[in-house]
Amino acid sequence: MTIELALRLSEILLAFALFQQSLEQLAVRYAWADPLVFAVRLALCLPLIAGLEVTLVLAALWGIGLWQLWRYQGPYNGGSDKMTLLILTCLLLAHAAPTQFWSEMALSYLAVQLVLSYFVSGWIKVINPEWQKGEALRDVFRFSAYPVSEGLRALADRPLFLLAMGWAVILLELAFPLTLLDPLALKIALACTAAFHFSNACFFGLNRFFWIWICAYPSLIWFQDRIVGSI
């Protein structure tokens, strides 16, 4: 995959994710500034999809991302907002970079962060005895604020199932960097992680995580091809 194609695919996916986020934000209106800003963000998604004035559009979207951090005194939607800003920053730097080398560095940074998002997440779980025993995932269903219905809490009473699911996620996250060694393995791993985000969206209502994480996938496919594949 060429860097141009990776950037274009990421921009189109990002435009869709931001469009979705903005529509949701517009539905929760209670302060005059919010709908105005999110309407602007919604409008900016159109030239981003069309590939018009991409650097300027990304800069404007980055500015709005910064405003959101200030407005909500941190992320509104936790890790998904952080990933949104990270992708915006890397895509903006890739476009504004003075040379091809720095463009590649910006996109590589995004790819490396994507790998870390899985590996670090797996690492901090595997060293935690509560995760090793399956108790942590039981607690998530038992009393955390995330399950989208009370009925889902009954899964806490299926410890073996949750133990297996917990270890499946931990092993997927820990093994993720190894899949960079083979293009097919990477694509299979990305399908698995997308399925993982999909299940999180169903069980815990984390729909924005699904859409924003897949925006970074083209950067990793390019990275594997360009950097790892050439070693």
Partner 1 sequence: MLRLISLLLPALIPSWRFFKTVAPSPRVEYRLLHRGEAGDWQEDRPRPAHLSFFTMLRRMLWNPAWNEQLFMVSCAERLVEADSPHSSAHSEDEINRRIARLLPMADDTELQFRLVFWYRDGAQLVKEVEFESTPVPVNSLRVRSHDY
| Of 218, 189, 207, residue with least CA distance to 24 | 207
- Residue 16 has what DSSP assignment? H
> 8 or 153: whose CB is closer to partner 1?
153
> 98 or 151: whose CB is closer to partner 1?
151
Q: Are 225 and 183 in contact (CB under 8 A)?
A: yes
State in angstroms the smallest separation of the CB of 126 from partner 1.
11
CA angle (90, 91, 95) in 5-degree steps: 115
Residue linked to tokens 């991302």: 65
The contact set with partner 1 (CB under 8 A) reads: 20, 23-25, 27-28, 30-34, 65-66, 69-70, 72-79, 81-83, 85-86, 89, 113, 116-117, 120-121, 124-125, 128, 130, 136, 139-140, 142-145, 147-152, 198, 201-202, 205-208, 210
Strand residues in the chain grouped as ranges (E) = none
Q: How far apart are CA 213 and CA 17, in angstroms?
A: 9
> 80 or 179: whose CB is closer to partner 1?
80
> 10 or 207: whose CB is closer to partner 1?
207
Token code pair at residue 41: 């963000």
Q: How far apart are CA 74 and CA 157, in angstroms?
A: 35
State in angstroms the smallest separation of the CB of 53 from partner 1.
24
State in angstroms the smallest separation of the CB of 87 from partner 1.
10
Distance linking the first and last C-alpha atoms of the chain:
16
State in angstroms the smallest separation of the CB of 61 from partner 1.
14
State in angstroms the smallest separation of the CB of 183 from partner 1.
24
Q: How far apart are CA 218 and CA 11, in angstroms?
A: 10
